[in-house]
Structure formats: structure tokens, C-alpha cells
Structure 1
């Protein structure tokens, strides 16, 4: 097993290198070649404990994505993120569950919901990590990244509830809503506490290598600590990641030498390597299961044709569920419907009510005519009340996506390692000792859906992104403008440190610290965007690294 794992990792990296040179997607090529290699005579089955996959592979991938994702961007797109990460998962589970129970009544509704919960969560971490290369707008990448950070927790909670309903085992908390509340709240608290504790310890170490090593432990500590308390390890990892990333916005006291810049530079090179290794392993592991999944299906009593047909229907269902949810929840159609509903309501009002409202609008909220009371300081159209303008402003700021963004978000629904790990974690027996009903069927369908979405959607997403030709010039200009403002703040702080009044006994990095402190204060005061500040802080770190002698 150890040698096989080593060979799998090595082969996956060679494939990734080949794909990189050819400009192709490494994941697609890895899955395809691994599936072909699985038919080699005498090749043993590489089968890992699902809990090992969830506890070793998933946490560092999520943690790395969180470290590179702004909490401010997460909060700014919270409605869309929760809608996709929680609402869509529940919607997909319900729709696919009832559809499967109708197509495969031998599973029962509870068993069908187990399958639905397994295939509900998309795995978008790998895709969004290359979002800018695909031409995805930054806001779209932010929404997809945020979705990938929360949807696993929702799906695994539904999975646990559905499995308990089939097996008849009493769960930690039987009420599903209370269970999800417990998992979310305790996981969040544990993640924040652990993140703050680790940040405090790292700040006192003063050795970049040790600090990076401690940071590598955070996702595993957060995950297993939360799981031991029946909380969500996924939420704990995400909360810890955000907490640790916020530590980069601490101000450094004057005259206090710090090696934090070396740690940031070292970790900026470290985490991409970790991501590459784990992603390569995930794709190889998925492909190597292909032959053995077919063998399990052949040995079961379920007809292979009907199982494959069910899998294709479920695959189509999860794709359509995402399209329906995105277009009805986040598309411009929602804004159009709201505007139309508002106009329709006004058209149905009696004429007398319309005249009274118009007179009230002209008088303004203070009862006067025109002036400051009617126009809120003279801004806006004459006769337009502040209340109407506020309502229009709120309506205009409903979170919507452009049609091309809608299509990209809808098509980014590839399933991955969470689906395979959850399917592998289905118990062998129920409480009575009987075999878990339809276990092989569920695992086979889950595998086909995961690989199918990867090959269908993952392979065509770059082509779709190029065909849509989304114009990101305005967004790119806004990003550059934000960086220019952040760079101006840093330059002003650096110029202030060069005057004659600066202390002569300052250490060499004091000027760099003042620039980063100025950026941190500007972010806290919301004068500049956090993403822009992060970009300039990286530039300052690189300059300080070039100007500072290496550590002994």
C-alpha cells in the first residue's frame, strides 16, 4: 500500500507536469489515464478509509483556499455564498432524493436521500484556484470559493441524518436542525479559538520555518478537535483559516523586529505545493477506482444497465438543479421579476391613491415642499423623495450576476473527493445487522456522477469561459485603481519614515513595518480594499526580503 501510494503520487505529478507544458487540464488527463491504468492485470485496489480522506486530504485543501480568500469578500457575497453553499445543497438533496426514490423504490426514501446528500456538494476548490486563468471575474471566483468552503458541511450533515434514518441508530442530536446548529456553532467557535491561539503562538516564535510548520498543523487540529465533539470539522477548518489570515492585518509595534514577512513569503510558496500534491492524488485516486467500481457492480444483484441509467439521470438532475437554482435565485431574472412586480402593483393601485402618493412625494417626508425635506439636500430628481430613492437604491443593489456569469456559475458544479469519501463512508450494516440497503448501488451512482461531472463540466469549462468572452476590463481597472491607492498609502508612510525626525536607532525593517501598518490601518478604516492591501503587502515583503541579510 505504501509503495502504491508513492507510485500514484509520482505518476500524478508527472502527468501534471505534462499537462502544464501542453496547456491542458491536469485533473482531466489524470482521471482519464488513471481509469485506463486501473484495468492493468494484477493491479491491486487502492482503497483508503473514507475518514482518512476526509481528515487528511480535505482539511488542508480547504484551509489553503481560506488563507487565500478574503473574509471581507466572503462577507460581501454572503447571501450568494449561503444560497449556493446551503440552499442549493438542500434543494439538490430534496429533488434528487425524491427523484431517486421514484426511479429506484428498493432504496426507499431514506436511502435515496443518502445518495442525494452524497452527490449534492460540488467541489470547486480546484476550479476556482485557476479562475483568473480561465477568465472568470473576481466576484464570480469569490462566490464559487465561498460556496466550496461551506457546502461540504451542509452536505455531510444531511448525509449523517439520512444515514441515521436508514440504519435506525440514534444520532448525537436527533433533530436535524439542532444538529446542524450544534455542528455549525461549535465548529465555528473551535476554529476561531484555535486560530487565535495559533496566531498568538506564531507571533512569539520568530522562526519562519517553525511558524510554517505550526500553520500546517492547524487544519488537522481544527478538523479532528471539532469531529471529536460531534461538530463540523469543515466549518472549524474554515473558521481557523479566516482567523489566521486576519492576523496578517495586525500592526507591528515600533522598534519591534519581526520575521513575519519571511513567514508570509515562505508560506506563499509552501501552500501551492501542498495543493498540487493533494489535488494530483485526488484525481488519480478517483480514476484508479474505475475498474473496481464496475467489478462491484457486476458482483451485486443490481442490473448494470439500470444502475448506469439511474446514474446518468442523477447526473442530469444535479446539473439541472444548479441551473434552476442559480437562474431563479441570482440571475437578472430575479431583479426583472421584482421590478415587474413593483410596476404591476403600482398599476393596480386606485387613481386616488396614486395622486395622494405623488402629492406626498412632492412634499417630502418633513411635510414641506421641495427644499431639503423633499430632496435630501437637493440631490436627485425634483419631487423624488428620499424614501423612493432609498428603495430604488436597495432594489438596484440586489445581488445579481450577468448572464455570462450565471452560465459559468451554473456550469461549475463538478463533484469530487467529498462525494467519493461520503459514499465510501456508508455503513456496511444497519442496526438490525442486515446489510445497508443499496450500498453498492449508491456508491456506483456516486462514482459515475463524480467522474461524469468532472469530465463533462470540468473539461468544457475553459472552452465555455473563452466563448463567453466576459469583459473584465472594468474590473481589472478597478483592481489596479485599488492597488494604486494602497501603494500610495504605503509610499506615504515610507516617505514619512525617511525624514530627518525619524529615530536613528531604528532597526533596518522599521520603514517596511510602517508601510504595512499604514495599510493595515487603512483597511480597518475601510479606506482601501483588503485584496489591494494584500497585494501591496506582498510587494513590500519581497522588497524587505531582498534588502535583508538571510537568517543564519
Structure 2
């Protein structure tokens, strides 16, 4: 009961922090980390010990799954080269640079375990990247690249971490090439196979389920079932969840009814909001646990921390510029994807926030090395914590200003609206042809009503090209219809209170009015 109470308290604090961030115009992840740091110093606040397995198996899979569901597979495939250069190449480069720096500063510590620390701090966090990038309003392609990187890079880092820990625990501190190759093949290949199997199995179940509640429950089960299946064969659960999420998200219009998609979308928005808030709050609350066993001299601690932070900051930029522009020396690549302006790698380089996965991986480091040899594990956990806080607070807080300062070429809203209107025109033509074919099977008034709805939707798409200089007919209709809905809703409420209609009638009427109001608000937001 006490643990349940603490979870409720943490969720309430995370919700309050997110609401405060919106009120102050701040980024919620940063405010929640700072809030957690402050609460950790209060004597009456409970100590929180983060279980790495809870993060890697209980929190990360649903967050990765919902991110993959919302990721465009065509956009992911189109940007596969930069995504893999960041998610695989940059993670390995960062891990080896950080491992080398730490080993040079602490030559008595085996290189393998220093490399393990490099793997811990190498991957930018999926939660942080998505939360901050979308809030800042970066161009669509940059968001796609950052999201794609954050979906895949955890798998690279965790496989490298597993190999490095095995090397640190082996006699002589090395492992054979065969072991490394086996780990990579099993983790990556096995994860892809389990993910594809998840697409087939759960896609089939979604297709056979017509009850939105059952669809929603099944969607909640998917990421955990896929992770457990992958872990059972020692494959990468991260890869498996991402593959399953991409596959089901891409096929979702064919697998689920409209009611199921709406309910699943609402459920995952709430789940992501709560989990993201809880994750960043927990990161800040770990400070006492991180400091508990730390006994390094302050001068040495500051020097090593500064060196690791500098390595983490610089490696991202050192990798990004050659990865961005050297590939364009190949004519085929240059023709297909011209070189972006220098602002693009600069802002991608600045969006390297680390998060809870880094802390969980650090907490999973072994207590001792081969032969029960000690190593500065507490220092390594501190370094991971310092990287998280520094990248979130420094890079995350300044990313909006950096993006504005660089004046990134924004997505063209007029071109977006023009493309949407053109496709809507084609969709309306197809709908009109279907209506004409079926018009004789329904009363004329029904057919005319359907034609009017279709015409309104087409007009709305073209009206968006006109900008916001004046109120469009659709906006005027939405404002007027909102007033009418409010009046209808009040009449039903008064009738229920007077006992003239039962509660069930009120609920059905409110549901229909709420659906129409939600549609009006969505159209107004667009």
C-alpha cells in the first residue's frame, strides 16, 4: 500500500510539474528533472532507488512502442541513411571516445569497463528527443531524424554495453570476435525477427477484434509481450518493440476500426504523458542514491566529470559534419538528397539530450569485475547522472533559442496546405463517384446531405490556403456550431436534472455532441 501511495504521489507531482511547465512556457522534461533534484533534498521525501529492469522492461517499451506507432514508415525509410549514421555510427564513436578519455584519466581501470561507461552515456534518450523536438517545433525532417535515431540507438548502446561487460568480466579483459559477432546477430537479427512476428500475430488479432476496448487492451499488451519474447531468446527487446510498432502503426488503418483508432490514440497520449513525466521526475530524484557511495576527491571528480561532458558534447558535432557532407561527395547521394544548410547539423548536434535509459544502464553496471576486482562504479554512475542533467538542462533549455538563432528553414505551411488540398480533391472525387453509384439505394435527401458534407470537407481543405487573415466560412460555421452545441447540451442537462430523461439518454446525447465538438476543435487547430 505504501508503494502504491508513493506512485500516486509521484504521478501527481509529475502532472503538476507538466502543468506548471506549460503555464510558464518551459519544457516539461527540464522542469521535472529540476523539480526532482529539489525534492530529493527534502528530509521528509522518500528515497527513490530506480530499478534498471523496471526502466528497461517496464517503462521504455511502451514509450518506444507509441513513438514507433506514430512514426511514418515512408519518412523513416527515406531518412534511413542519416538515422543509421546517428543511431549506430555515432553511438559507437561516442562510446569509444568516452571510453578512451576515461581510461586515459584512470589507467588502472580496465578499458573494457571504461567502454561500458561510454556505451551508457552514448545514446540520446528516446523520451527526451521526442518531447523536446516536438515542443520546440523543429522542421519535420529534423524531427523524423531525431525520432528515428532515438528509436534505434538504445539497441546499439545496449548491445555494446553487453559486450563490454562480458569483456570486463572475462579473463584478460577481452572477448573473441566470434562472441561479439554472435551478440550482434542474436540481438539485432533476433530482435527484428521477433518484431516481425509481433506484427503478424498482433496484426492478426487486431484485425479480428472489433471491440474498441479489447483493441485498446491488446495494444497495451503488445510492447511487453514483444519485449519478453525477445529477452527470452537474448535478443534486443528495443529492436523488437520498434519493428512491431512501425509495422502495426503503418498498417493501422487496415487493422482497426475508426472507434478503436480514436480510443487507442487517446489512451497512448495519456500513457505517454504520465510515463514521460514520471521518468524525468525519477531521474531528478536519484541524486541522493547517486551521491551515497561517491567518495572521490572533489578536484578529481570535477576534472573527470568535465572531461566526460566535453567528450559527449564534442563527439556529436565531430561526427555529424563529416557524416552529413562527406556522403554528398557521392553523386548518386547528392542527386537524391542535396546537402542541407549548415544549420541542420548544428541543431541536430545540439539536440543530444540523454535520459532515463542512460541512468538505468549505469545502474546495471556490475558491482565488481573478474576476480572480484573493484572499480569506481559509484563514480561511473555519477558520470552518467551528470551527463543526463547537463544535456537536459543545458542543451534542452537552450534548444529553442538555438533553433530560433539559427533561423532554420521552416516547413512551408502553404505547400503543406496545397498538397493536402490536392489529395483531398482526389479523395472527394473518389467519394463522389461512390456516392453516385449508391445514390439510387437511399432517399434523395440522404444523398444530398452526403454531398453537402463532402463539399464542406473539400472547401475546408482549400480554405486553409487563405491563411488566418480573416475568418473563413468554415471557421464561422465552427464558431456558430459550438454555440449551438452548448445550447443543446444545457437542455439535456436540465431535462436530466428535472427527471424527464434517464441518465442513459443524457450520456448518449453528450457522447454525440462531444464527438462533434472534438471534430470542430481539431479542424480549428489545423
Q: Aligning the two structures, in what range does the TM-score lie when normalised by the shorter sequence?
A: 0.7 to 0.9
C-alpha separation between the residues in 1 aligned to 2:23 and 2:39? 22
Partner of residue 10 from structure 2, selected from 8, 14, 35: 8
**Once the two structures are superposed, what CA deviation does each residue of 1:410-468 show, in whole Å capped at 9, x if it has no partner?**
00111111110100111223453x15522111111111111111111011101111222
Paired position in structure 2 for 1:343: none
Asked if 1:306 corresponds to 2:300, the answer is: yes
C-alpha separation between the residues in 2 aligned to 1:491 and 1:136? 32
Contact 2:128 2:353 in 1 (8 A): no
Asked if 1:420 corresponds to 2:364, the answer is: no
**Once the two structures are superposed, what CA deviation does each residue of 1:3-50 show, in whole Å capped at 9, x if it has no partner?**
222211211111111111221111111111211111112543211321
With over 3 angstroms needed to count, the CA separation of the structure-2 counterparts of 1:147 and 1:95, relative to structure 1, is same
Partner of residue 404 from structure 2, selected from 466, 479, 498: 466
Contact 1:80 1:399 in 2 (8 A): no
Contact 2:123 2:153 in 1 (8 A): yes
With over 3 angstroms needed to count, the CA separation of the structure-2 counterparts of 1:425 and 1:172, relative to structure 1, is farther
Paired position in structure 1 for 2:50: 48
Asked if 1:489 corresponds to 2:426, the answer is: yes
With over 3 angstroms needed to count, the CA separation of the structure-2 counterparts of 1:505 and 1:438, relative to structure 1, is farther
Contact 2:53 2:360 in 1 (8 A): yes
Paired position in structure 2 for 1:534: none
C-alpha separation between the residues in 2 aligned to 1:445 and 1:100? 10
Paired position in structure 2 for 1:261: 258
SS in 2 for 1:40: coil
Paired position in structure 2 for 1:186: 190
Q: Which moved more, 1:316-325 or 1:38-47?
A: 38-47
Partner of residue 377 from structure 2, selected from 439, 442, 456: 439
**Once the two structures are superposed, what CA deviation does each residue of 1:241-299 show, in whole Å capped at 9, x if it has no partner?**
01111222539xxxxxxx7101111122121111111111111111111133223213x
SS in 2 for 1:69: coil
1:492 deviation in Å? 1.4
Asked if 1:290 corresponds to 2:287, the answer is: yes
Partner of residue 448 from structure 1, selected from 381, 386, 396: 386
C-alpha separation between the residues in 2 aligned to 1:438 and 1:101? 12
| Mapping for residues 133-282 of structure 1, pairs under 5 Å | 133-168=135-170, 175-250=179-254, 260-282=257-279
C-alpha separation between the residues in 1 aligned to 2:513 and 2:411? 29
Q: Which moved more, 1:463-472 or 1:135-144?
A: 463-472
1:90 deviation in Å? 0.6
| Mapping for residues 279-358 of structure 1, pairs under 5 Å | 279-298=276-295, 302-331=296-325, 335=328, 338=329
1:501 deviation in Å? 4.5
| Mapping for residues 51-66 of structure 1, pairs under 5 Å | 51-66=53-68
C-alpha separation between the residues in 2 aligned to 1:210 and 1:198? 12
C-alpha separation between the residues in 1 aligned to 2:237 and 2:11? 26
Q: TM-score, normalised by structure 2?
A: 0.80
**Once the two structures are superposed, what CA deviation does each residue of 1:164-183 show, in whole Å capped at 9, x if it has no partner?**
11122899995213311221
C-alpha separation between the residues in 2 aligned to 1:436 and 1:187? 33
With over 3 angstroms needed to count, the CA separation of the structure-2 counterparts of 1:423 and 1:190, relative to structure 1, is same
C-alpha separation between the residues in 2 aligned to 1:29 and 1:501? 56
Contact 1:311 1:446 in 2 (8 A): no
SS in 1 for 2:109: helix
With over 3 angstroms needed to count, the CA separation of the structure-2 counterparts of 1:234 and 1:92, relative to structure 1, is same
1:484 deviation in Å? 1.9
SS in 1 for 2:398: helix
Contact 2:359 2:385 in 1 (8 A): yes
SS in 1 for 2:136: coil
Q: Which moved more, 1:168-177 or 1:128-137?
A: 168-177
Asked if 1:82 corresponds to 2:84, the answer is: yes
C-alpha separation between the residues in 2 aligned to 1:409 and 1:233? 26
1:309 deviation in Å? 2.0
With over 3 angstroms needed to count, the CA separation of the structure-2 counterparts of 1:75 and 1:497, relative to structure 1, is same
Q: TM-score, normalised by structure 1?
A: 0.76
Asked if 1:38 corresponds to 2:29, the answer is: no
Paired position in structure 2 for 1:105: 107
C-alpha separation between the residues in 2 aligned to 1:175 and 1:106? 25
C-alpha separation between the residues in 2 aligned to 1:132 and 1:4? 30
Paired position in structure 2 for 1:479: 416
Paired position in structure 2 for 1:73: 75
With over 3 angstroms needed to count, the CA separation of the structure-2 counterparts of 1:394 and 1:232, relative to structure 1, is closer
**Once the two structures are superposed, what CA deviation does each residue of 1:50-107 show, in whole Å capped at 9, x if it has no partner?**
1111001101111111111011111100000000000000111111111110011122
C-alpha separation between the residues in 2 aligned to 1:62 and 1:26? 19
1:142 deviation in Å? 0.7
Contact 1:28 1:458 in 2 (8 A): yes
C-alpha separation between the residues in 2 aligned to 1:79 and 1:494? 38
Q: Which moved more, 1:155-164 or 1:398-407?
A: 398-407
Contact 1:153 1:235 in 2 (8 A): yes
SS in 2 for 1:413: coil
With over 3 angstroms needed to count, the CA separation of the structure-2 counterparts of 1:216 and 1:318, relative to structure 1, is same
C-alpha separation between the residues in 2 aligned to 1:117 and 1:47? 22
